[in-house]
Amino acid sequence: MGKLQNKIYVVTGANSGIGLAAAESFAEQGAEVVLVCRNEARGRAAQQKIQQTSGNENIHLEIADFSSLRSISTLADRLLARYPRIDVLCNNAGGANAGRKLTAEGFELTFATNHLSGFLLTKKLLPSLLDHEGDPARVVFTSSLGHKNSPLDFDDLGLEKDYGTLKAYGRSKLMNLLTARELHKRYGDSKLIASSFHPGAVRTPIWSKGGILARLIGLVMYPFMWSIEKGADTFIWLASAEDAEVLSAEGSYFFDRRKPRIAQFATDEAAAELWHVSEQLIEPYFEA
């Protein structure tokens, strides 16, 4: 029996890396954990590993494709039907892509996977996140120092003009930071704590999936990278600790349990505009 007993945690991108490490920690602390994964075989392996290491059988698996808004919409419907109350949503799923690709629904892949799907999931789960008589619910976004790479171009969110792997990834991580900020602005008074964080340069598979440049960066930096456990520390802290800094996060961005400086272009105005544009883009899938 841990301090998170009777709490429901939903963790996306939970079959490897910091998502798996965080889910394992929540399970060890007694939470009922929902692992949201794209690959069923890897998801089952993660589920079994967590159950064995934590001794917690309340570990569930949901399969969803974050490159498909329709898939995420149906995932949200399943979660809403099963969980009238969700205590913590960890928006961790994401990745990098070597070249510009479009999803079947016509969105640039990094934009859809790293931002739009998490935004849609968060919006649809608000009834369960805001249904709290006790402790406030929490929503944690995995952002990155890469958010400083480039400001958003609202005339070209799909990067048709000048695509680059690091630019696409960095802008999507900026969107995660801005979404956490705007989420707090809109729902902070409704007992919802939102935050985002940079895990550090962590030894995860993401470096092998972003093309030649990302693989080279990963190869050169690997000896200096943080372990997965250290990278997950701030994630776990924001999602489960009762520290004053966490309870008063107010949409803030963290690194190593501190609030570093963020990009000058990560403004309230950009957050509000991104929220408005994103709502328009997900509208056809909201009731899908």
Residue 3 lies in a domain: no
Confidence of residue 287 (pLDDT cuts 50, 70, 90): confident
Is the confidence at residue 167, as pLDDT, over 90?
yes
For 119, the enclosing helix (H) or strand (E) is: helix 117-129
Q: Is residue 28 part of a domain?
A: yes
Residue 20 lies in a domain: yes
At 80, the amino acid letter reads L
Q: Tell me the CA distances in angstroms from 275 to 69, 113, 241, 282, one per residue in order.
A: 16, 16, 28, 11
Give 30-52 pLDDT, tens digit per residue: 999 999 999 999 999 999 999 99
Mapped onto helix, strand or coil, the DSSP state of residue 61 is strand
Contact status, residue 144 vs residue 166, Cβ threshold 8 Å:
no
Contact in structure between 151 and 177 (CB atoms under 8 Å): no
Mean pLDDT over 175-195 rounds to 96
Section 158-166 average pLDDT: 94
Q: Which of 9, 83, 169, 187 is catalytic?
A: 169
Least confident of 59-73, 119-133, 232-246: 119-133
- Least confident segment among 68-82, 162-176, 186-200, 205-219: 205-219
Q: What is the mean pLDDT of residues 54-82?
A: 98
Quickly state the pLDDT bin for 14 (edges 50, 70, 90): very high
CATH of the domain at 280: 3.40.50.720
Give the DSSP letter of residue 227.
Answer: P
- Of the candidates 66, 47, 67, 65, the one whose C-alpha atom is nearest the C-alpha of residue 57 is 47
Residue 134 pLDDT: 78
> Can you give the pLDDT at residue 207?
45
pLDDT at 284 over 70: yes
CA–CA separation, 91 vs 14, rounded Å?
10
Domain of residue 190, residue span: 8-286
| 73 in any annotated domain | yes
Decide the pairing of beta strands 137-142 and 8-12: unpaired
Asked whether residue 216 carries a pLDDT value surpassing 60, the answer given is no
253 in catalytic set? no
User: Residue 47: inside a domain, yes or no?
Assistant: yes
The residues that bridge with 226 in the sheet, in sequence order, are: 202
Note whether residue 1 is domain-resident: no
As for how many domains the chain has, the answer is 1
pLDDT tens digit sequence for 81-124: 999 999 999 999 999 998 999 999 999 999 999 999 999 999 99
